[in-house]
C-alpha cells in the first residue's frame, strides 16, 4: 500500500506527468469497491447498505464524512441522503464516520483536470477521465477546494436510493407484497393497505439482501429538500450553546495542556520551567518539537504556566524580516525561478511591443486564517492505539501523519472528526494533532486535551502565501488588446503537502490561480507566467487559495487597462468574456446594481468578475468617500455554481465569503520581524466587524451545467471590486493590500 500510495499521489499531484490510472493499476484494482467502513463493527440486527447509511432496530444513522467547518455540509450531506431515502429531517442521527478510502473525494478530479489542461495539450474532460481512477485508488478523503457539493450531489442520492429500494425489497419479502405496490414515506415503507413499516423494523430483513444497485433518482419536481428552505439541522444547537466542538470535549481523567513552540519555527535551544512549575495547577512541562507543552489541571493553569516559561529560541529557517520577504519575491522574475506559462493566447509580445501602455506592480501579503475556535486536540496514546478527537479536513491523512509520530501503524490510529468553529483552510494542517500526540505519547494511557492560546495559534499559523506581480498591457481604440501578467509567489502547495506527507512536484498552480482562469477568451493576447519564490515562510491554503489574491491581481489590472482605454468597466469585460455562463453572471450583477445609472451623492461603484473553482462570481461594491474615510454601502453579488441545493445556506455562504474578502482587503496581513509573526491576536488582524458591513444583495444563477461548491468562489472578487470602487471614488489605485495602508475606512 505504501509504495502504491506514493506512486498514485505523486502521479496525481505532479500534474505534468499524468498517465492513465486504469493502465497503471489494472482494471480490477480500479473497479473494485473500497471496503465499507461501517461493516467493521456492525452489530447484529443492523444493516449498512453502503458507507453512508446504517439502520438498526432503533436508529437511522447517516454518515456525513465531509468535515463541517461551518459551511453547513453536515446538513447538506444529510439532506441529500434524506431526499432519496424519504426521511424527514428529524428522523435520523448523523455521524462524521471513520476515516476511510470509501469516502474518497471524486470532485478533486474536476479542479485538478481544469488546472492541468492549462499545462498539457489535452482537454479537461480527457484529463478528468484519467484522474478519476487515480483518485479512487488513492482514496484521499478530504474537504476543501469547494468540492463537497460536487462530490456528494449524485453519489449520496444514489446511495440513499439504493438503500430505499433495498428496504422496499425487504418489505416485499417480509409482507408478501409485490415491490411494485410499495412506496416509501417519512422513514417507512407503506404497504398497499397503508400500513407503515418503519425502516428500523426492516433492518434485519434488509441485511439479508444484496443492496439494489440500478436505481432511478428522483426528478427535481419530486424534491422535498433540494432547492427548498429546510433549516440547518445544526442550527438550534448552535443558537443555544449546546453544540459541541473539539475544544469542548472532556474525558474522565484527562489533563489539560498548551503548547509553546518557537515563534520563529526553528529549534528550541534552551528553556527554563522553574517559574512555570510554581504556578498552582501546573503538573509538568514536557518537550515537544521546537518547544514545550505545559501540562496542568485546567486550561487556565496551563496558559498561566506557559506565560511563565523562559526560552532561548533558535533562528528562523526563512528570512527574518518582512522587507527581505518582499525583496526575495521581487527578485524572483528570473529564468531559474520560472515555473510555467499558465496561459498564452495570441502574441502579447508583438501587441505590447517595446513599451506597454500600462505597466504596474502589485503585492499581496501573508494573511492568517484564525477561525474563532482555537486549535485543539483530545488525544490518548496507549501501546496499541492512538485515539484522537478534533476537527480536520483530511481524515485519512490524519492517520498516516500521526502514526509517523509514535511508530504506531495508521491502522492503530482512531480519529473521531468534530465539527469545527471555522477553518478557512486552517484545519488542513496537522500541527495541533501532532503535538497533542507528542504530549500524550509521553504520558501513555492519560487523555490529553491540548488547547492553543490565541497567541500561539496566530504565531504558528501557516498563512496565505505572499506574492508579487507585474502587469504589462496594451489598449487600442477604446479596447484592451493585451495582458501580460507575471506572478511570483511562495509555492504554497509544496509547503502544505510536505507537512501532510504527500510528496509533490511540478509547477504550483496556486501561484497564478484566479489569474489564468479569467474567462477572457475574447481578449486576443493574454499571457500568464508563474515564478516560485524560495526562502519564504511556510504557507498553507487560505480560503480560495491562490485565487484569493489572483482575482485581485487580474481584476485590478483589467480595471486599470479599461480605464486607460476609456471604456466602461462592465461593457469591456463583457466584450472580453467568451464563456456564456460568466457573461450572464456579470450582466445580471450590473443589472442588479444599476450599473451605468446615476448613483446617490458621493457614491461610486467598482466591479470585478473572478472565475475560481469552476464558478464565475461577479461583485459590484458601492462606496462613499466621506471626510473621515471610505464607507462601504452596498455589495451586489451574482454567482453561478449550478443547481442550488440550499437557497438559504448559499446566500449565507456568499455573504460570508464577500465579508471575508472585504475585511481582509481592508485591514489584515501577517508580517515577520526577527523571524516572528508580528500579529498575535485579533486587535492586529481583525477582518470585518459588524459596523463596517455593507448591505449584501445576492442572486444565484443556475446555468452552470456542473454543480459546484460555493465556500470559496465569492471571496476572490471582493478584494478587486472594493479596490476598483475606491479608485472610482478617489482616483487612488490600490496596488497593495491591506488597503488601510493607503486609505482610512469608516
Partner 1 sequence: MQLTVNGTYHEVDVEGDTPLLWVLRDHLGLTGTKYGCGIAQCGACTVHIDGLAVRSCQVAVDTLEGAEVVTIEGLSQEDNLHPVAQAWIETQVAQCGYCQSGQIMQAASMLENDPTPSNETIDAVMSGNLCRCGTYPRIRAAIRLAQTKMGG
Q: Which of 26, 33, 123, 231 binds partner 1 (CB under 8 A)?
A: 231
The residue assigned the cell 504554497 is 492
Enumerate residues 106-165 that contact partner 1 by CB under 8 A. Answer: none
Instruction: Please report how the helices 718-730 and 647-667 are oriented relative to each other, as an axis angle in degrees rounded to 10.
Output: 50
* Edge-first strand listing for the sheet containing 615-626: 603-612, 615-626, 629-640, 695-701
Nearest CB to partner 1, comparing residues 70 and 614: 70
How many secondary structure helices (H) and strands (E) does the chain include? 22, 27
272 in Cβ contact with 399 (< 8 Å): no
Q: Which of 175, 198, 337, 454 binds partner 1 (CB under 8 A)?
A: 454
x/- mask, partner 1, residues 361-380, rule CB under 8 A, reads ---------xxxxx------
Q: Which of 44, 176, 194, 250 binds partner 1 (CB under 8 A)?
A: 250
Q: Is residue 242 part of the contact set for partner 1 (CB under 8 A)?
A: yes
Of the candidates 22, 49, 50, 23, the one whose C-alpha atom is nearest the C-alpha of residue 34 is 50
Give least dist CB 422 to partner 1, A.
4
Q: Is residue 446 part of the contact set for partner 1 (CB under 8 A)?
A: no
Give least dist CB 151 to partner 1, A.
20
Query: How far, in Å, CA of 187 to CA of 93, rounded?
Result: 13
Nearest CB to partner 1, comparing residues 51 and 656: 656
Of the candidates 254, 575, 590, 318, the one whose C-alpha atom is nearest the C-alpha of residue 466 is 318
Nearest CB to partner 1, comparing residues 51 and 374: 374
Nearest CB to partner 1, comparing residues 73 and 119: 73
Count of residues in contact with partner 1, rule CB under 8 A: 67
Q: Which of 451, 539, 667, 671 binds partner 1 (CB under 8 A)?
A: 451
Is residue 642 helix, strand or coil? coil
Enumerate residues 290-309 that contact partner 1 by CB under 8 A. Answer: 298-300, 303
Q: Which of 294, 500, 511, 659 binds partner 1 (CB under 8 A)?
A: 659
Cell of 720: 478587486
Q: Which of 146, 655, 667, 668 binds partner 1 (CB under 8 A)?
A: 655
Of the candidates 303, 319, 282, 548, the one whose C-alpha atom is nearest the C-alpha of residue 425 is 548
In 220-296, DSSP assigns E strands to 255-261, 268-272, 282-288, 291-296
491 in Cβ contact with 318 (< 8 Å): no
Enumerate residues 255-274 that contact partner 1 by CB under 8 A. Answer: 256
Q: Is residue 422 part of the contact set for partner 1 (CB under 8 A)?
A: yes
Strands 282-288, 291-296: pairing kind:
antiparallel
Instruction: Please report how the helices 547-565 and 569-576 are oriented relative to each other, as an axis angle in degrees rounded to 10.
Output: 110
Give least dist CB 224 to partner 1, A.
18
283 in Cβ contact with 295 (< 8 Å): yes
Query: How far, in Å, CA of 352 to CA of 614, rounded?
Result: 30
Enumerate residues 674-703 that contact partner 1 by CB under 8 A. Answer: 681-683, 686-693, 695-696
Q: Which of 232, 434, 470, 472 binds partner 1 (CB under 8 A)?
A: 232
Nearest CB to partner 1, comparing residues 144 and 471: 144
In 273-357, DSSP assigns E strands to 282-288, 291-296, 310-313, 338-345
Give least dist CB 494 to partner 1, A.
27
Question: Where does this chain bind partner 1 (CB under 8 A)?
Answer: 69-72, 231-232, 234-245, 247-248, 250, 256, 280-281, 298-300, 303, 370-374, 419-424, 451, 453-455, 648-649, 652-653, 655-660, 663, 681-683, 686-693, 695-696
Amino acid at each position: 500500500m505504501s509504495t502504491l500510495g506514493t506512486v498514485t499521489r505523486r502521479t496525481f499531484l505532479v500534474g505534468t506527468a499524468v498517465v492513465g490510472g486504469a493502465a497503471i493499476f489494472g482494471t480490477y484494482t480500479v473497479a473494485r469497491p473500497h471496503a465499507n467502513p461501517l461493516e467493521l463493527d456492525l452489530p447484529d440486527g443492523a444493516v449498512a447498505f453502503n458507507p453512508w447509511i446504517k439502520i438498526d432496530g432503533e436508529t437511522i444513522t447517516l454518515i456525513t464524512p465531509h468535515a463541517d467547518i461551518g459551511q453547513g455540509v453536515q446538513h447538506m450531506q444529510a439532506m441529500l441522503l434524506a431526499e432519496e431515502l424519504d426521511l424527514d429531517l428529524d428522523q435520523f442521527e448523523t455521524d462524521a464516520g471513520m476515516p476511510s478510502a470509501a469516502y474518497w473525494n471524486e470532485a478533486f478530479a474536476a479542479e485538478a483536470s481544469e488546472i492541468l489542461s492549462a499545462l498539457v495539450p489535452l482537454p479537461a474532460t480527457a484529463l478528468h477521465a484519467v484522474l478519476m481512477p487515480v483518485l479512487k485508488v488513492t482514496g484521499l478523503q478530504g474537504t476543501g477546494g469547494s468540492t463537497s457539493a460536487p462530490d456528494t450531489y449524485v453519489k449520496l442520492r444514489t446511495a440513499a436510493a439504493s438503500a430505499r429500494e433495498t428496504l422496499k425489497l425487504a418489505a416485499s419479502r417480509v409482507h408478501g407484497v409485490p415491490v411494485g405496490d410499495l412506496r416509501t414515506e417519512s422513514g417507512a415503507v407503506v404497504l398497499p393497505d397503508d400500513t407503515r413499516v418503519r425502516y428500523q423494523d426492516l433492518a434485519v430483513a434488509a441485511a439479508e439482501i444484496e443492496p439494489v444497485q440500478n436505481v432511478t433518482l428522483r426528478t427535481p419536481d419530486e424534491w422535498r429538500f433540494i432547492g427548498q428552505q429546510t433549516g440547518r439541522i445544526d442550527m438550534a444547537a448552535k443558537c443555544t450553546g449546546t453544540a459541541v466542538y473539539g475544544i469542548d470535549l472532556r474525558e474522565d481523567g484527562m489533563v489539560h495542556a498548551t503548547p509553546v513552540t518557537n515563534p520563529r519555527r526553528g529549534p528550541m535551544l534552551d528553556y527554563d520551567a522553574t517559574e512555570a512549575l510554581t504556578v498552582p495547577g501546573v503538573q509538568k512541562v514536557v518537550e515537544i518539537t521546537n518547544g514545550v507543552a505545559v501540562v496542568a489541571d485546567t486550561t487556565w493553569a496551563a496558559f498561566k504556566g506557559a506565560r511563565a516559561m523562559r526560552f532561548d529560541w533558535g533562528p528562523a529557517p526563512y528570512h527574518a524580516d518582512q522587507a527581505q520577504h518582499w525583496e526575495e519575491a521581487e527578485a524572483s522574475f528570473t529564468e531559474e525561478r520560472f515555473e510555467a506559462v499558465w496561459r498564452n493566447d495570441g502574441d502579447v509580445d508583438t501587441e505590447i511591443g517595446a513599451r506597454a501602455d500600462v505597466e504596474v506592480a502589485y503585492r499581496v501579503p501573508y494573511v492568517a486564517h484564525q477561525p474563532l475556535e482555537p486549535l485543539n486536540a483530545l488525544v490518548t496514546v496507549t501501546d496499541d492505539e492512538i485515539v484522537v478527537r478534533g476537527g480536520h479536513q483530511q481524515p485519512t491523512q490524519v492517520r498516516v501523519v500521526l502514526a509517523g509520530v509514535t511508530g504506531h501503524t495508521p491502522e492503530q490510529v482512531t480519529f473521531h472528526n468534530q465539527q469545527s468553529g471555522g477553518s478557512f483552510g486552517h484545519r488542513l494542517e496537522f500541527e495541533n494533532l501532532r503535538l497533542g500526540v507528542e504530549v500524550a505519547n509521553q504520558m501513555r494511557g492519560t487523555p490529553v486535551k491540548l488547547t492553543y492560546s490565541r497567541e500561539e495559534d496566530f504565531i504558528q499559523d501557516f498563512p496565505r502565501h505572499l506574492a508579487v506581480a507585474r502587469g504589462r498591457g496594451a489598449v487600442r481604440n477604446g479596447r484592451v488588446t493585451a495582458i501580460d501578467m507575471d506572478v511570483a509567489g511562495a509555492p504554497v502547495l509544496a509547503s502544505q503537502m510536505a507537512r501532510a506527507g504527500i510528496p509533490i512536484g511540478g509547477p504550483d498552480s496556486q501561484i497564478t490561480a484566479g489569474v489564468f482562469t479569467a474567462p477572457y477568451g475574447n481578449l486576443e493576447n493574454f499571457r500568464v507566467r508563474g515564478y516560485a519564490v524560495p526562502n519564504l515562510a511556510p504557507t498553507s491554503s487560505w480560503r480560495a487559495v491562490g485565487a484569493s489574491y489572483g482575482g485581485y491581481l487580474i481584476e485590478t489590472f483589467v480595471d486599470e487597462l479599461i480605464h486607460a482605454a476609456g471604456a466602461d468597466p462592465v461593457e469591456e469585460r463583457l466584450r472580453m468574456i467568451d464563456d456564456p455562463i460568466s457573461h450572464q453572471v456579470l450582466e445580471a450583477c450590473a443589472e442588479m446594481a444599476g450599473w451605468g445609472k446615476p448613483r446617490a451623492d458621493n457614491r461610486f461603484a467598482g466591479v470585478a468578475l473572478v472565475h475560481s473553482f469552476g464558478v464565475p462570481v461577479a461583485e459590484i461594491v458601492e462606496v462613499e468617500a466621506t471626510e473621515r474615510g471610505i464607507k462601504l454601502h452596498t455589495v451586489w453579488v451574482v454567482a453561478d455554481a449550478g443547481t442550488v441545493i440550499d437557497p438559504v445556506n448559499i446566500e449565507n455562504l456568499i455573504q460570508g465569503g464577500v465579508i471575508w474578502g472585504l475585511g481582509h482587503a481592508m485591514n489584515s496581513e501577517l508580517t515577520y520581524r526577527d523571524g516572528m509573526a508580528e500579529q498575535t491576536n485579533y486587535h492586529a488582524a481583525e477582518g470585518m466587524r459588524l459596523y463596517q458591513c455593507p448591505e449584501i444583495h445576492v442572486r444565484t444563477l443556475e446555468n452552470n451545467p456542473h454543480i459546484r461548491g460555493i465556500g470559496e468562489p465569492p471571496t476572490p472578487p471582493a478584494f478587486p471590486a472594493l479596490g476598483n470602487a475606491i479608485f472610482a471614488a478617489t482616483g487612488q489605485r490600490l496596488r497593495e493590500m491591506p488597503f488601510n495602508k493607503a486609505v482610512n475606512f469608516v
